[in-house]
Structure 1
Amino acid sequence: MEFQDVVRRRRMVRNFDPRPVDPAVVTRVLGNAIRAPSAGFTQGWSFLLLDTPEDVARFWEAATPPGRGVDTWSRGLRRAPVLIVPMSCKRAYLDRYAEPDKGWTDRDESRWPVPYWHIDTGMATLLMLLTATDEGLGACFFGIPPERLETFRAAFGVPEDQTPIGVVALGHRAPDRPSPSLRRGRRGLDEVVHRGRW
Protein backbone atom coordinates (compact mmCIF):
# COMPACT_ATOMS: atom_id res chain seq x y z
CA MET A 1 0.00 0.00 0.00
CA GLU A 2 1.28 3.51 -0.77
CA PHE A 3 2.08 5.67 2.26
CA GLN A 4 -0.63 8.25 1.46
CA ASP A 5 -3.18 5.43 1.24
CA VAL A 6 -2.09 4.13 4.64
CA VAL A 7 -2.49 7.58 6.18
CA ARG A 8 -5.91 8.13 4.57
CA ARG A 9 -7.25 4.68 5.51
CA ARG A 10 -6.04 4.68 9.10
CA ARG A 11 -8.88 5.02 11.56
CA MET A 12 -9.79 3.70 14.96
CA VAL A 13 -11.53 0.34 14.56
CA ARG A 14 -13.81 -0.59 17.44
CA ASN A 15 -15.20 -3.90 16.20
CA PHE A 16 -13.03 -6.94 15.57
CA ASP A 17 -13.37 -10.40 14.14
CA PRO A 18 -11.83 -12.74 16.75
CA ARG A 19 -9.65 -14.60 14.18
CA PRO A 20 -6.01 -14.75 15.30
CA VAL A 21 -3.43 -12.37 13.88
CA ASP A 22 -0.36 -13.83 12.19
CA PRO A 23 2.49 -13.61 14.77
CA ALA A 24 4.84 -12.37 12.02
CA VAL A 25 2.53 -9.37 11.53
CA VAL A 26 2.52 -8.64 15.27
CA THR A 27 6.34 -8.77 15.18
CA ARG A 28 6.33 -6.31 12.26
CA VAL A 29 3.97 -3.96 14.14
CA LEU A 30 6.29 -3.96 17.15
CA GLY A 31 9.42 -3.80 14.98
CA ASN A 32 8.16 -0.64 13.33
CA ALA A 33 7.28 0.88 16.70
CA ILE A 34 10.90 0.79 17.81
CA ARG A 35 11.84 2.82 14.70
CA ALA A 36 10.10 5.87 16.19
CA PRO A 37 12.15 8.98 16.98
CA SER A 38 13.16 9.47 20.59
CA ALA A 39 14.88 12.31 22.42
CA GLY A 40 18.57 11.54 22.84
CA PHE A 41 17.88 8.17 21.23
CA THR A 42 16.72 7.17 24.71
CA GLN A 43 14.11 4.70 23.46
CA GLY A 44 12.50 4.75 26.88
CA TRP A 45 9.45 2.83 25.77
CA SER A 46 8.37 -0.73 26.41
CA PHE A 47 5.43 -2.75 25.15
CA LEU A 48 3.37 -5.32 27.00
CA LEU A 49 2.14 -7.83 24.40
CA LEU A 50 -1.06 -9.69 25.28
CA ASP A 51 -1.76 -12.19 22.51
CA THR A 52 -3.36 -15.17 24.18
CA PRO A 53 -7.09 -15.40 24.99
CA GLU A 54 -6.19 -15.79 28.67
CA ASP A 55 -4.03 -12.65 28.79
CA VAL A 56 -6.57 -10.59 26.82
CA ALA A 57 -9.37 -11.70 29.19
CA ARG A 58 -7.16 -10.89 32.19
CA PHE A 59 -6.56 -7.41 30.78
CA TRP A 60 -10.28 -6.71 30.44
CA GLU A 61 -10.93 -8.00 33.93
CA ALA A 62 -8.18 -5.78 35.37
CA ALA A 63 -9.02 -2.67 33.34
CA THR A 64 -12.81 -2.68 33.62
CA PRO A 65 -14.31 -0.72 36.53
CA PRO A 66 -16.52 -2.83 38.83
CA GLY A 67 -20.11 -2.99 37.70
CA ARG A 68 -19.37 -1.70 34.21
CA GLY A 69 -19.19 -5.07 32.47
CA VAL A 70 -19.43 -5.37 28.71
CA ASP A 71 -20.97 -2.20 27.31
CA THR A 72 -21.62 -0.98 23.79
CA TRP A 73 -18.30 0.88 23.74
CA SER A 74 -16.14 -2.11 24.62
CA ARG A 75 -18.10 -5.04 23.13
CA GLY A 76 -16.34 -4.98 19.74
CA LEU A 77 -12.96 -4.05 21.22
CA ARG A 78 -13.06 -7.09 23.50
CA ARG A 79 -12.98 -9.35 20.43
CA ALA A 80 -9.54 -8.07 19.38
CA PRO A 81 -7.17 -11.05 19.72
CA VAL A 82 -4.11 -8.87 20.40
CA LEU A 83 -3.61 -6.02 22.84
CA ILE A 84 -0.37 -4.05 23.07
CA VAL A 85 0.17 -1.72 26.02
CA PRO A 86 2.81 0.92 25.18
CA MET A 87 4.57 2.27 28.25
CA SER A 88 6.84 5.22 28.80
CA CYS A 89 9.67 5.51 31.32
CA LYS A 90 10.57 8.97 32.62
CA ARG A 91 13.54 7.55 34.54
CA ALA A 92 15.15 6.37 31.28
CA TYR A 93 15.10 9.94 29.95
CA LEU A 94 16.40 11.51 33.14
CA ASP A 95 19.20 8.90 33.23
CA ARG A 96 20.04 9.35 29.56
CA TYR A 97 20.33 13.13 29.83
CA ALA A 98 22.61 12.76 32.84
CA GLU A 99 25.14 10.92 30.64
CA PRO A 100 28.35 12.75 29.60
CA ASP A 101 27.22 13.56 26.04
CA LYS A 102 24.11 15.33 27.41
CA GLY A 103 25.49 16.61 30.70
CA TRP A 104 22.41 17.35 32.78
CA THR A 105 23.85 15.57 35.80
CA ASP A 106 21.28 16.98 38.19
CA ARG A 107 18.47 15.05 36.43
CA ASP A 108 16.23 18.10 36.88
CA GLU A 109 12.86 17.32 35.36
CA SER A 110 12.10 21.03 34.87
CA ARG A 111 14.60 21.12 31.96
CA TRP A 112 12.06 19.27 29.85
CA PRO A 113 9.56 21.64 28.19
CA VAL A 114 7.15 18.71 27.71
CA PRO A 115 7.27 15.05 28.84
CA TYR A 116 9.15 13.57 25.88
CA TRP A 117 8.91 10.10 27.44
CA HIS A 118 5.18 10.17 26.70
CA ILE A 119 5.56 11.90 23.33
CA ASP A 120 8.13 9.41 22.06
CA THR A 121 5.99 6.49 23.18
CA GLY A 122 3.02 8.10 21.43
CA MET A 123 5.04 8.30 18.20
CA ALA A 124 5.91 4.61 18.52
CA THR A 125 2.21 3.92 19.03
CA LEU A 126 1.29 5.81 15.86
CA LEU A 127 3.75 3.67 13.91
CA MET A 128 1.93 0.60 15.24
CA LEU A 129 -1.42 2.00 14.07
CA LEU A 130 -0.03 2.79 10.61
CA THR A 131 1.59 -0.63 10.31
CA ALA A 132 -1.70 -2.31 11.20
CA THR A 133 -3.40 -0.38 8.40
CA ASP A 134 -0.60 -1.28 5.97
CA GLU A 135 -1.12 -4.96 6.88
CA GLY A 136 -4.87 -4.71 6.19
CA LEU A 137 -5.72 -4.99 9.88
CA GLY A 138 -7.72 -2.80 12.20
CA ALA A 139 -6.43 -1.11 15.33
CA CYS A 140 -7.76 1.15 18.04
CA PHE A 141 -5.88 3.18 20.63
CA PHE A 142 -7.74 3.65 23.91
CA GLY A 143 -6.94 4.43 27.53
CA ILE A 144 -6.97 2.46 30.75
CA PRO A 145 -9.26 4.15 33.30
CA PRO A 146 -7.04 5.91 35.89
CA GLU A 147 -8.80 4.18 38.77
CA ARG A 148 -7.85 0.79 37.25
CA LEU A 149 -4.15 1.44 36.66
CA GLU A 150 -2.98 -0.15 39.91
CA THR A 151 -5.15 -3.22 39.29
CA PHE A 152 -3.70 -3.47 35.77
CA ARG A 153 -0.14 -3.11 37.14
CA ALA A 154 -0.72 -5.84 39.70
CA ALA A 155 -2.31 -8.21 37.18
CA PHE A 156 0.71 -8.02 34.85
CA GLY A 157 3.60 -7.20 37.19
CA VAL A 158 4.21 -3.79 35.61
CA PRO A 159 7.01 -1.90 37.41
CA GLU A 160 6.20 1.49 38.95
CA ASP A 161 8.58 3.34 36.60
CA GLN A 162 6.57 2.19 33.55
CA THR A 163 3.59 4.39 32.67
CA PRO A 164 0.95 2.87 30.38
CA ILE A 165 -0.02 5.59 27.90
CA GLY A 166 -2.93 3.53 26.54
CA VAL A 167 -3.65 0.29 24.72
CA VAL A 168 -3.59 -0.73 21.05
CA ALA A 169 -6.24 -3.30 20.14
CA LEU A 170 -5.15 -5.16 17.02
CA GLY A 171 -7.02 -7.60 14.80
CA HIS A 172 -9.11 -8.22 11.71
CA ARG A 173 -11.80 -5.61 11.16
CA ALA A 174 -15.42 -6.57 11.56
CA PRO A 175 -18.28 -4.46 10.19
CA ASP A 176 -19.04 -1.52 12.40
CA ARG A 177 -20.67 1.87 12.35
CA PRO A 178 -18.52 4.99 12.15
CA SER A 179 -17.97 6.71 15.46
CA PRO A 180 -20.47 9.52 16.14
CA SER A 181 -17.42 11.71 16.80
CA LEU A 182 -16.68 11.68 13.06
CA ARG A 183 -19.71 13.92 12.52
CA ARG A 184 -17.52 16.76 13.74
CA GLY A 185 -15.54 16.49 10.50
CA ARG A 186 -11.82 16.81 10.03
CA ARG A 187 -10.44 20.29 10.56
CA GLY A 188 -8.91 21.73 7.40
CA LEU A 189 -5.39 23.03 6.95
CA ASP A 190 -6.70 26.59 6.87
CA GLU A 191 -7.95 26.10 10.45
CA VAL A 192 -4.81 24.57 11.93
CA VAL A 193 -1.85 26.02 10.01
CA HIS A 194 -0.69 29.50 11.03
CA ARG A 195 1.95 30.68 8.60
CA GLY A 196 4.50 33.07 10.05
CA ARG A 197 2.21 34.34 12.82
CA TRP A 198 -0.75 33.12 14.82
Structure 2
Amino acid sequence: MEFADVVRRRRMVRDYDADRPVPPQVRERLLEHAVRAPSAGFSQGWAFLVLESPEERDRFWAATTAGGTPDSWLTRMRRAPLLIIPLSHRAAYLERYAEPDKGWGDRDEARWPVPYWDVDTGMAALLMLLTAVDEGLGACFFGVPADRVDAFRAAFGVPEDHRPVGCVSVGYPGGEDRRSPSLRRGRRPLEEVVHRGRW
Protein backbone atom coordinates (compact mmCIF):
# COMPACT_ATOMS: atom_id res chain seq x y z
CA MET A 1 0.00 0.00 0.00
CA GLU A 2 1.24 3.50 -0.77
CA PHE A 3 2.26 5.47 2.32
CA ALA A 4 -0.26 8.24 1.59
CA ASP A 5 -3.02 5.62 1.51
CA VAL A 6 -1.87 4.16 4.84
CA VAL A 7 -2.03 7.60 6.45
CA ARG A 8 -5.46 8.36 4.96
CA ARG A 9 -6.89 5.00 6.03
CA ARG A 10 -5.54 5.12 9.58
CA ARG A 11 -8.35 5.32 12.09
CA MET A 12 -9.10 3.93 15.52
CA VAL A 13 -10.86 0.58 15.20
CA ARG A 14 -13.04 -0.29 18.19
CA ASP A 15 -14.37 -3.75 17.28
CA TYR A 16 -12.55 -6.89 16.24
CA ASP A 17 -13.21 -10.32 14.80
CA ALA A 18 -12.41 -12.45 17.86
CA ASP A 19 -12.05 -15.58 15.73
CA ARG A 20 -9.19 -14.26 13.58
CA PRO A 21 -5.86 -14.02 15.44
CA VAL A 22 -3.12 -11.70 14.26
CA PRO A 23 -0.60 -13.79 12.30
CA PRO A 24 2.72 -14.14 14.18
CA GLN A 25 4.70 -12.61 11.31
CA VAL A 26 2.44 -9.53 11.37
CA ARG A 27 2.81 -9.23 15.15
CA GLU A 28 6.59 -9.30 14.73
CA ARG A 29 6.43 -6.66 11.97
CA LEU A 30 4.44 -4.38 14.27
CA LEU A 31 7.18 -4.66 16.90
CA GLU A 32 10.05 -4.40 14.41
CA HIS A 33 8.57 -1.19 13.04
CA ALA A 34 7.90 0.19 16.53
CA VAL A 35 11.59 0.08 17.42
CA ARG A 36 12.37 2.10 14.28
CA ALA A 37 10.76 5.14 15.92
CA PRO A 38 13.01 8.12 16.62
CA SER A 39 14.35 8.51 20.13
CA ALA A 40 16.31 11.37 21.69
CA GLY A 41 19.99 10.49 21.82
CA PHE A 42 19.02 7.09 20.42
CA SER A 43 18.11 6.29 24.02
CA GLN A 44 15.42 3.79 22.93
CA GLY A 45 13.81 4.03 26.35
CA TRP A 46 10.82 1.89 25.60
CA ALA A 47 9.53 -1.61 26.18
CA PHE A 48 6.50 -3.45 24.81
CA LEU A 49 4.30 -5.87 26.73
CA VAL A 50 2.62 -8.26 24.27
CA LEU A 51 -0.61 -9.97 25.37
CA GLU A 52 -2.11 -12.58 23.07
CA SER A 53 -3.59 -15.46 25.03
CA PRO A 54 -7.18 -15.15 26.25
CA GLU A 55 -5.90 -15.42 29.85
CA GLU A 56 -3.42 -12.55 29.36
CA ARG A 57 -6.00 -10.33 27.72
CA ASP A 58 -8.62 -11.09 30.37
CA ARG A 59 -6.07 -10.22 33.05
CA PHE A 60 -5.37 -6.90 31.30
CA TRP A 61 -9.05 -5.97 31.13
CA ALA A 62 -9.64 -7.05 34.73
CA ALA A 63 -6.72 -4.91 35.92
CA THR A 64 -7.54 -1.82 33.88
CA THR A 65 -11.33 -1.62 34.15
CA ALA A 66 -13.65 -1.16 37.10
CA GLY A 67 -15.47 -4.46 36.67
CA GLY A 68 -19.21 -4.91 36.50
CA THR A 69 -21.13 -5.21 33.26
CA PRO A 70 -18.99 -3.93 30.39
CA ASP A 71 -20.39 -1.14 28.25
CA SER A 72 -20.60 -1.48 24.46
CA TRP A 73 -17.12 0.04 23.92
CA LEU A 74 -15.46 -2.42 26.28
CA THR A 75 -17.46 -5.35 24.93
CA ARG A 76 -16.19 -4.64 21.41
CA MET A 77 -12.63 -3.80 22.46
CA ARG A 78 -12.28 -7.01 24.47
CA ARG A 79 -12.55 -8.93 21.18
CA ALA A 80 -9.10 -7.71 20.07
CA PRO A 81 -6.84 -10.76 19.76
CA LEU A 82 -3.66 -8.76 20.36
CA LEU A 83 -2.84 -6.05 22.90
CA ILE A 84 0.54 -4.31 22.95
CA ILE A 85 1.29 -1.96 25.81
CA PRO A 86 4.12 0.49 25.01
CA LEU A 87 6.00 1.47 28.18
CA SER A 88 8.35 4.42 28.53
CA HIS A 89 11.55 4.24 30.57
CA ARG A 90 12.60 7.69 31.78
CA ALA A 91 15.86 6.48 33.37
CA ALA A 92 17.17 5.31 29.99
CA TYR A 93 17.07 8.94 28.80
CA LEU A 94 18.55 10.44 31.95
CA GLU A 95 21.38 7.89 31.86
CA ARG A 96 22.01 8.32 28.13
CA TYR A 97 22.25 12.10 28.47
CA ALA A 98 24.65 11.73 31.39
CA GLU A 99 27.15 10.06 29.04
CA PRO A 100 30.21 12.12 27.98
CA ASP A 101 28.92 13.06 24.50
CA LYS A 102 25.82 14.69 26.05
CA GLY A 103 27.28 15.83 29.37
CA TRP A 104 24.17 16.17 31.53
CA GLY A 105 25.77 14.32 34.42
CA ASP A 106 23.35 15.78 36.95
CA ARG A 107 20.48 13.81 35.35
CA ASP A 108 18.22 16.80 36.03
CA GLU A 109 14.75 16.31 34.54
CA ALA A 110 14.34 20.09 34.36
CA ARG A 111 16.62 20.02 31.28
CA TRP A 112 13.85 18.28 29.35
CA PRO A 113 11.19 20.70 28.03
CA VAL A 114 8.81 17.74 27.55
CA PRO A 115 9.12 14.09 28.65
CA TYR A 116 10.75 12.71 25.51
CA TRP A 117 10.59 9.19 26.95
CA ASP A 118 6.79 9.41 26.59
CA VAL A 119 6.92 11.26 23.27
CA ASP A 120 9.24 8.72 21.67
CA THR A 121 7.24 5.78 23.00
CA GLY A 122 4.11 7.41 21.56
CA MET A 123 5.83 7.62 18.17
CA ALA A 124 6.60 3.90 18.42
CA ALA A 125 2.90 3.30 19.05
CA LEU A 126 2.02 5.36 15.96
CA LEU A 127 4.30 3.20 13.83
CA MET A 128 2.39 0.15 15.07
CA LEU A 129 -0.92 1.80 14.14
CA LEU A 130 0.34 2.56 10.63
CA THR A 131 1.80 -0.93 10.22
CA ALA A 132 -1.54 -2.46 11.17
CA VAL A 133 -3.24 -0.50 8.37
CA ASP A 134 -0.56 -1.55 5.90
CA GLU A 135 -1.15 -5.19 6.88
CA GLY A 136 -4.93 -4.91 6.39
CA LEU A 137 -5.73 -4.92 10.11
CA GLY A 138 -7.38 -2.48 12.44
CA ALA A 139 -5.87 -0.97 15.56
CA CYS A 140 -6.73 1.47 18.31
CA PHE A 141 -4.58 3.43 20.75
CA PHE A 142 -6.21 4.08 24.10
CA GLY A 143 -5.07 4.98 27.59
CA VAL A 144 -4.65 2.96 30.75
CA PRO A 145 -6.66 4.85 33.41
CA ALA A 146 -4.37 6.56 35.92
CA ASP A 147 -6.14 4.95 38.86
CA ARG A 148 -5.62 1.49 37.34
CA VAL A 149 -1.88 1.71 36.58
CA ASP A 150 -0.87 0.11 39.90
CA ALA A 151 -3.25 -2.80 39.31
CA PHE A 152 -1.86 -3.17 35.77
CA ARG A 153 1.71 -3.23 37.12
CA ALA A 154 0.82 -5.84 39.72
CA ALA A 155 -1.01 -8.04 37.20
CA PHE A 156 1.99 -8.25 34.87
CA GLY A 157 5.02 -7.57 37.08
CA VAL A 158 5.80 -4.29 35.33
CA PRO A 159 8.62 -2.45 37.13
CA GLU A 160 7.96 0.95 38.68
CA ASP A 161 10.45 2.63 36.34
CA HIS A 162 8.38 1.75 33.25
CA ARG A 163 5.21 3.76 32.59
CA PRO A 164 2.43 2.59 30.27
CA VAL A 165 1.76 5.36 27.76
CA GLY A 166 -1.33 3.52 26.53
CA CYS A 167 -2.33 0.31 24.82
CA VAL A 168 -2.53 -0.64 21.15
CA SER A 169 -5.29 -3.15 20.35
CA VAL A 170 -4.85 -4.97 17.04
CA GLY A 171 -6.97 -7.35 14.99
CA TYR A 172 -9.19 -7.74 11.98
CA PRO A 173 -12.07 -5.25 12.17
CA GLY A 174 -15.34 -6.74 13.42
CA GLY A 175 -18.86 -6.27 12.21
CA GLU A 176 -19.87 -3.77 14.89
CA ASP A 177 -17.04 -1.32 14.34
CA ARG A 178 -18.50 2.17 14.29
CA ARG A 179 -17.11 5.57 13.65
CA SER A 180 -16.55 7.56 16.80
CA PRO A 181 -19.17 10.26 17.40
CA SER A 182 -16.22 12.60 17.93
CA LEU A 183 -15.55 12.48 14.17
CA ARG A 184 -18.67 14.56 13.61
CA ARG A 185 -16.55 17.50 14.69
CA GLY A 186 -14.65 17.17 11.43
CA ARG A 187 -10.96 17.53 10.82
CA ARG A 188 -9.69 21.04 11.48
CA PRO A 189 -8.50 22.72 8.29
CA LEU A 190 -4.81 23.46 7.86
CA GLU A 191 -5.53 27.20 7.95
CA GLU A 192 -6.61 26.85 11.59
CA VAL A 193 -3.64 24.84 12.82
CA VAL A 194 -0.68 25.86 10.66
CA HIS A 195 1.10 29.14 11.42
CA ARG A 196 3.68 30.16 8.83
CA GLY A 197 6.46 32.43 9.92
CA ARG A 198 4.73 33.65 13.08
CA TRP A 199 1.60 32.97 15.13
- Tell me the TM-score normalized by structure 2: 0.97
Counterparts of residues 75-90 of structure 1 (less than 5 Å): 75-90=75-90
Amino acid at match of 1:131: T
Paired positions, count: 197
Percent identity of equivalent pairs: 68
Deviation at 1:65, TM superposition (A): 1.3
What is the alpha-carbon distance in structure 1 between the residues aligned to residue 64 and residue 114 of structure 2?
27
Larger deviation, residues 155-164 vs 144-153: 144-153
Alignment of 1:186-197 (within 5 A): 186-197=187-198
Gaps of 5+ in 1: none
Runs of 4+ in 1 over 6 A off after TM superposition: none
Distance 1:27 1:101 in 2: 33
Q: Distance in 2 between matches of 1:151 and 1:174?
A: 29
Task: Deviation per CA, 1:57-91: give whole Å up to 9, x if none.
Answer: 11011111144x31112111100000000000111
Aligned to 1:141: 141
For 1:163, the equivalent position in structure 2 comes to: 163
User: Counterparts of 1:58-73 in structure 2 under 5 Å?
Assistant: 58-67=59-68, 69-73=69-73
Which secondary structure does the structure 1 equivalent of 2:172 belong to?
strand
Letter in 1 for 2:170: L
Give the aligned partner of residue 104 of structure 1: 104
Letter of the aligned partner of 2:188 in structure 1? R
**Secondary structure in structure 2 of the residue aligned to 1:16:** coil
Q: Provide the aligned C-alpha RMSD in A.
A: 0.7
**Aligned twin of 2:45:** 44
Quote the offset at 1:53 in angstroms. Answer: 1.0
Give the equivalent residue in structure 2 for 1:181: 182
Structure 2 CA distance for aligned equivalents of residues 125 and 61 of structure 1: 23
- What is the aligned partner in structure 2 of residue 150 from structure 1? 150
Distance, in Å, in 1 between the alignment partners of 2:151 and 2:197 is 48
Could you tell me which amino acid in structure 2 is paired with residue 161 of structure 1? D
Unaligned stretches of 5+ in structure 2? none
